[in-house]
Amino acid sequence: MFDPLVIGDTVLSSRLFIGTGKYSRNTLIPEVIACSGSEVITVALRRVDPAGGTENIMNHIPEHMKLLPNTSGARTAEEAVRIARLARAAGLGNWVKIEVINDQKYLLPDNLETIRATEILAAEGFVVLPYMSPDLSVALRLRDVGAAAVMPLGSPIGTNRGLRTKELLRILIEEVNLPIIVDAGIGRPSEAAEAMEMGAAAVLLNTAIATARDPLGMAEAFREAVSAGRKAYLAGLGPVEESAAASSPLTGFLG
């Protein structure tokens, strides 16, 4: 079944985006990519060291991957903009995941600064994917200023708590006419499947794979879960009923 995800002018067949942080060694990254089937990988510019020899994370990302440099470490819109420009100047392409975080305790995104950064970078021709706290008016504003997708959190980064923001995610999926990529908090393949069943366009995760006992096995499990969730969404889930529905209607005799 041909079911592409189109972001900007890029056509993707995998709806699982992955990260590069928290691994015990960078050499695991190509293996994780292979097992996950992912085509998009986010990388923190703060970790990219072009002069870093074998320690440079970029040496471990295969050519075919779509790079999604992120602005991890930015505390203001200005910092995020500067990091994005550095990433593009460093040859990492024109996609950027905006992360503006002013809260080092919970690492929750600053939605207002995120809107400001998105507006500036979209106007400069970047394909902007902002990471955000799920809020309808913010998501609509991000769409209006040129975001290519929005990336609401399922729960705080690194927690593996799953879709704690489910009701808000549902509203975003229904109301915002942009791909909704659930980012952060997904800890289990079943949670990734659930996000996809709800109609999310894709999911992005890192900790769940990177800190698993067997990262490669977990990457494969997520690939299958995302695929299953997407198929279920496309097939149309049956309605959930409060009480049992009789298979022989009680009023059938009325014709």
Partner 1 sequence: MMSFYETLTALEKYPYEDLWKQYTEVDIKRALQKERMDEGDLLALLSPAAGPYLEEMAGKAQRITRSNFGQAIQLFTPMYLADFCVNHCTYCSFSSIYDFPRKKLSMEEVKREAETIVATGLRHILILTGESRRENPVSYIKECVEVLRQYFTSISIEINPLTTAEYKELLLAGVDGLTLYQEVYHQDTYKALHVKGPKRNYRNRLDAPERGCQAGFRSVNIGALLGMHDWRKEAFMTAMHARYLQNSYPECEISLSPPRFRPYLGEFNPESDVTDRALVQIILAYRLFLPRSGITLSTREPAVLRDHLIHLGITKMSAGVSTEVGGHTNEGGTPQFEISDGRSVQEITDMLYANHLQPVFKDWDILTMPASLSI
Just list the catalytic residues: 97
Q: Does 144 bind partner 1 (CB under 8 A)?
A: no
Q: Among 83-91, 128-136, 194-202, 219-227, which window interacts with partner 1 (CB under 8 A)?
A: 83-91
Q: How far is the CB of 234 from partner 1 (least distance, A)?
A: 33
DSSP output for 75-120: -SHHHHHHHHHHHHHTT--SEEEE--B--TTT--B-HHHHHHHHHH
Supply 220's token pair.
């494969």
Q: Per CB under 8 A, which region of 17-25, 59-67, 233-241, 247-255 contacts partner 1?
A: 17-25
Considering the rule CB under 8 A, would residue 188 count as an interface residue with partner 1?
A: no
What's the min distance (Å) between Cβ of 115 and partner 1? 18
Is residue 47 involved in binding partner 1 (CB under 8 A)? yes
One residue of 82, 166, 170, 188 binding partner 1 per CB under 8 A: 82
Region of 125 (left: φ > 0; alpha: ψ -120 to 50; beta: rest) is left
Nearer to partner 1, 55 or 174 (CB): 55
Q: Contacting partner 1 (CB under 8 A), which of 21, 30, 93, 199? A: 21
Q: 59, 79, 216, 224: which one contacts partner 1 (CB under 8 A)?
A: 79
CB 103, min distance to partner 1, A: 5
Q: Residue 38: left (phi > 0), alpha (psi -120 to 50), or beta?
A: beta
User: How far apart are alpha carbons 75 and 94 in whole angstroms?
Assistant: 21
Minimum Å gap between C-beta 35 and partner 1 is 18
At 142, is the secondary structure helix, strand, or coil? helix
Side chain identity at residue 139, one-letter code: A
Question: Of the candidates 183, 189, 136, which has an alpha carbon nearest to the alpha carbon of residue 155?
Answer: 183
Give the separation between CA 94 and CA 155, rounded to whole angstroms: 27
Q: Point out which residues bind partner 1 (CB under 8 A).
A: 21-26, 45-49, 52-53, 55, 73, 75, 79, 82-83, 85-86, 89, 102-107, 158-160, 207, 210-211
